Structure 1
Amino acid sequence: MATESEEGVSFELSTLLVSIRDAYRQMEIPVSRYVGGILLPGVLFFLVTIVAAIGLDMPLFVRLPMPALGLLIVVAAFIYPKLRLDQRRKRMEEVFHLYVTHMTVLSTTNIDRVEVFRRIAATDDYGPLSEETRRIVQLVDTWNQSLDDACRMRAKKVPSDAVSDFFDRLSYTINAGESLSNYLVSEQSAIIQNYTTIYEGQLENLEVMKDLYLSMILSVTFALVFGTVLPIISGTDPTITVTAVVVMYSFIQLGFLYAIYTVSPTDPVWYVPEQHTTATERRMQRAVLVGGSLSILAIAATLVVMLGATGIDPDTVPLPIYAAFPTTPLLIPGLVARQEEGDIKDRDSEYVSFIRALGSSETAQQTTTTAVLEGLREKDFGPLTENVTDLYTRLKMRLSPEEAWRFFTADAHSYLIQKFSEMYLIGRQMGGDPKHLGELISENMNEVLQLRERRSQSTMTLIGVLYGISAAATFAFFIGLGIVEQLSGLSAGLASTGSFDFNSLIHTEVYNVGLIEFLLTVTVLINALISALMVRVVDGGHTVNSYLHFVALTWLGAIIGSGTLELVGTLLGI
Structure 2
Amino acid sequence: MAQSEAEGLDLTITEFVQGLAESYRQMEIPLERYLTYILVPSIVFFLITIGAGLLLPVPLTIRAPIPLLGLLVLASAVFYPKILLSQRKSELNNRFHLMVTHMTVLATTKIDRMEVFRTLAEEDEYGELAMEMHRIVQLVDTWNQSLDDACRRRAKEVPSDAVADFLDRLAYTLGAGQSLEDYLLSEQGQIIQHYTTVYRSSLDSLEVMKDLYLSMILSMTFALVFAVVLPVLTGTNPTMTVSAVIVMFVFVQSGFFLAIRSMAPYDPVWFHPVEYPSPIKAKLDRSMYVGVGLSMLLLCLSLGGMTGLSPVGLNDLLFMFPQVPLPFYAAVPITPMIIPGIVFRQEEQKIKARDQEFPSFIRALGATEGAKQSTTGQVLRTLRKKDFGPLTQNINDLYKRLNMRIEPTAAWRYFTADCRSYLIQTFSEMYLIGREMGGSPKQLGELIAENMNEVLQLRQKRKQAATTLIGLLYGITAASTFAFFIGLQVVNILAQMSLDLNAGSRLDVNSLINTSVYNIPLIEFLLVIIIMFSAMLSSLMIRTVDGGHKANTFMHFVILSWIGAITGTFTKWLVTQFLQI
- TM-score, normalising length from structure 2? 0.92
Paired position in structure 2 for 1:485: 492
Whether the aligned pair in 2 keeps the contact of 1:39 and 1:78 (CA below 8 Å) is no
- Residue type at the aligned position of 2:145: Q
Paired position in structure 1 for 2:190: 190
Whether the aligned pair in 2 keeps the contact of 1:92 and 1:129 (CA below 8 Å) is yes
> What do residues 122-169 of structure 1 show as CA deviations (whole Å, max 9, x unaligned)?
111111111111111111111111111110000000011110010001
Paired position in structure 2 for 1:420: 427
Q: 2:443 aligns with which of 436, 451, 463?
A: 436
Shift of 1:319: 0.6
Q: Matched residue of 2:501: which SS?
A: coil
User: Are 1:388 and 2:395 an aligned pair?
Assistant: yes
Whether the aligned pair in 2 keeps the contact of 1:50 and 1:67 (CA below 8 Å) is no
Q: Matched residue of 1:509: which SS?
A: coil
User: Are 1:55 and 2:48 an aligned pair?
Assistant: no
Compared CA separation, residues 366 and 155, structure 1 to 2 (3 A): same
Compared CA separation, residues 185 and 156, structure 1 to 2 (3 A): same
Compared CA separation, residues 269 and 234, structure 1 to 2 (3 A): same
Paired position in structure 2 for 1:167: 167
Whether the aligned pair in 1 keeps the contact of 2:271 and 2:422 (CA below 8 Å) is yes
User: Are 1:36 and 2:49 an aligned pair?
Assistant: no
Paired position in structure 1 for 2:85: 85
In 1, the alpha carbon distance for the partners of 2:526 and 2:156 equals: 53
Paired position in structure 2 for 1:243: 243
Paired position in structure 2 for 1:331: 338
In 1, the alpha carbon distance for the partners of 2:68 and 2:241 equals: 17
- Residue type at the aligned position of 2:235: G
In 1, the alpha carbon distance for the partners of 2:254 and 2:52 equals: 23
Paired position in structure 2 for 1:212: 212
Paired position in structure 2 for 1:363: 370
Shift of 1:266: 0.8
- Residue type at the aligned position of 2:123: T
Compared CA separation, residues 430 and 273, structure 1 to 2 (3 A): same
- Residue type at the aligned position of 1:15: E
Compared CA separation, residues 238 and 258, structure 1 to 2 (3 A): same
Q: Matched residue of 2:20: which SS?
A: helix
Compared CA separation, residues 197 and 57, structure 1 to 2 (3 A): closer
Compared CA separation, residues 466 and 270, structure 1 to 2 (3 A): same
Compared CA separation, residues 57 and 329, structure 1 to 2 (3 A): same
Paired position in structure 2 for 1:558: 565
After superposing the two structures, state which structure 1 stretch, 16-25 or 127-136, moved more.
16-25
Compared CA separation, residues 51 and 249, structure 1 to 2 (3 A): farther
Q: Matched residue of 2:492: which SS?
A: helix
In 1, the alpha carbon distance for the partners of 2:50 and 2:360 equals: 58
Shift of 1:345: 0.4
- Residue type at the aligned position of 1:167: L
Paired position in structure 2 for 1:15: 15
Whether the aligned pair in 1 keeps the contact of 2:232 and 2:514 (CA below 8 Å) is yes
In 2, the alpha carbon distance for the partners of 1:50 and 1:340 equals: 59
After superposing the two structures, state which structure 1 stretch, 391-400 or 412-421, moved more.
391-400
- Residue type at the aligned position of 2:252: I
Whether the aligned pair in 1 keeps the contact of 2:331 and 2:562 (CA below 8 Å) is yes
Q: Matched residue of 2:502: which SS?
A: coil
In 2, the alpha carbon distance for the partners of 1:522 and 1:499 equals: 40
Q: Matched residue of 2:125: which SS?
A: coil
After superposing the two structures, state which structure 1 stretch, 383-392 or 26-35, moved more.
26-35
After superposing the two structures, state which structure 1 stretch, 350-359 or 502-511, moved more.
502-511
Whether the aligned pair in 2 keeps the contact of 1:228 and 1:242 (CA below 8 Å) is yes
Paired position in structure 1 for 2:522: 515
Shift of 1:84: 2.3
Paired position in structure 1 for 2:98: 98
Q: Matched residue of 1:316: which SS?
A: coil
In 1, the alpha carbon distance for the partners of 2:50 and 2:437 equals: 60
User: Are 1:476 and 2:483 an aligned pair?
Assistant: yes
> What do residues 435-461 of structure 1 show as CA deviations (whole Å, max 9, x unaligned)?
000000000000000000001111111
In 1, the alpha carbon distance for the partners of 2:68 and 2:382 equals: 67
Compared CA separation, residues 498 and 542, structure 1 to 2 (3 A): closer
Q: 1:345 aligns with which of 352, 358, 366?
A: 352
Whether the aligned pair in 2 keeps the contact of 1:269 and 1:415 (CA below 8 Å) is yes
Paired position in structure 2 for 1:402: 409
Compared CA separation, residues 44 and 110, structure 1 to 2 (3 A): farther
Compared CA separation, residues 267 and 43, structure 1 to 2 (3 A): farther
Compared CA separation, residues 448 and 43, structure 1 to 2 (3 A): farther
1:238-387 superposed matches below 5 A? 238-306=238-306, 309=311, 316-387=323-394
In 1, the alpha carbon distance for the partners of 2:474 and 2:81 equals: 35
In 2, the alpha carbon distance for the partners of 1:283 and 1:461 equals: 30
In 1, the alpha carbon distance for the partners of 2:465 and 2:429 equals: 30
Paired position in structure 2 for 1:201: 201
Shift of 1:300: 2.8
Shift of 1:327: 1.9
Compared CA separation, residues 356 and 569, structure 1 to 2 (3 A): same
In 2, the alpha carbon distance for the partners of 1:50 and 1:274 equals: 57
Whether the aligned pair in 2 keeps the contact of 1:49 and 1:70 (CA below 8 Å) is no
Paired position in structure 1 for 2:578: 571
Whether the aligned pair in 2 keeps the contact of 1:239 and 1:516 (CA below 8 Å) is yes
Q: Matched residue of 2:387: which SS?
A: coil
Shift of 1:92: 1.1
- Residue type at the aligned position of 1:196: T
Compared CA separation, residues 415 and 516, structure 1 to 2 (3 A): same
Paired position in structure 1 for 2:543: 536
- Residue type at the aligned position of 1:176: A
Shift of 1:48: 6.6
Whether the aligned pair in 2 keeps the contact of 1:320 and 1:521 (CA below 8 Å) is yes
Compared CA separation, residues 44 and 10, structure 1 to 2 (3 A): farther
After superposing the two structures, state which structure 1 stretch, 456-465 or 22-31, moved more.
22-31
In 1, the alpha carbon distance for the partners of 2:322 and 2:9 equals: 59
> Tell me, which stretches of 5 or more residues in structure 2 are unaligned?
none
Compared CA separation, residues 297 and 49, structure 1 to 2 (3 A): farther
Whether the aligned pair in 2 keeps the contact of 1:337 and 1:542 (CA below 8 Å) is yes
Compared CA separation, residues 498 and 387, structure 1 to 2 (3 A): closer
Whether the aligned pair in 2 keeps the contact of 1:47 and 1:70 (CA below 8 Å) is no
In 1, the alpha carbon distance for the partners of 2:250 and 2:53 equals: 19
After superposing the two structures, state which structure 1 stretch, 503-512 or 260-269, moved more.
503-512
Q: Matched residue of 1:346: which SS?
A: helix
In 2, the alpha carbon distance for the partners of 1:42 and 1:265 equals: 36
Shift of 1:510: 1.9
- TM-score, normalising length from structure 1? 0.93
Compared CA separation, residues 36 and 71, structure 1 to 2 (3 A): closer
Compared CA separation, residues 435 and 78, structure 1 to 2 (3 A): same
In 2, the alpha carbon distance for the partners of 1:51 and 1:482 equals: 45
> What do residues 294-313 of structure 1 show as CA deviations (whole Å, max 9, x unaligned)?
11222233335545755869
Q: Matched residue of 2:145: which SS?
A: coil
> What do residues 374-399 of structure 1 show as CA deviations (whole Å, max 9, x unaligned)?
11111111111111111111111111
In 1, the alpha carbon distance for the partners of 2:81 and 2:234 equals: 45
Shift of 1:196: 0.5
Paired position in structure 2 for 1:462: 469
Compared CA separation, residues 515 and 24, structure 1 to 2 (3 A): same
Whether the aligned pair in 2 keeps the contact of 1:43 and 1:74 (CA below 8 Å) is no
Whether the aligned pair in 2 keeps the contact of 1:123 and 1:130 (CA below 8 Å) is yes
Whether the aligned pair in 2 keeps the contact of 1:46 and 1:73 (CA below 8 Å) is no
> What do residues 46-67 of structure 1 show as CA deviations (whole Å, max 9, x unaligned)?
8878999x93569xxxx99998
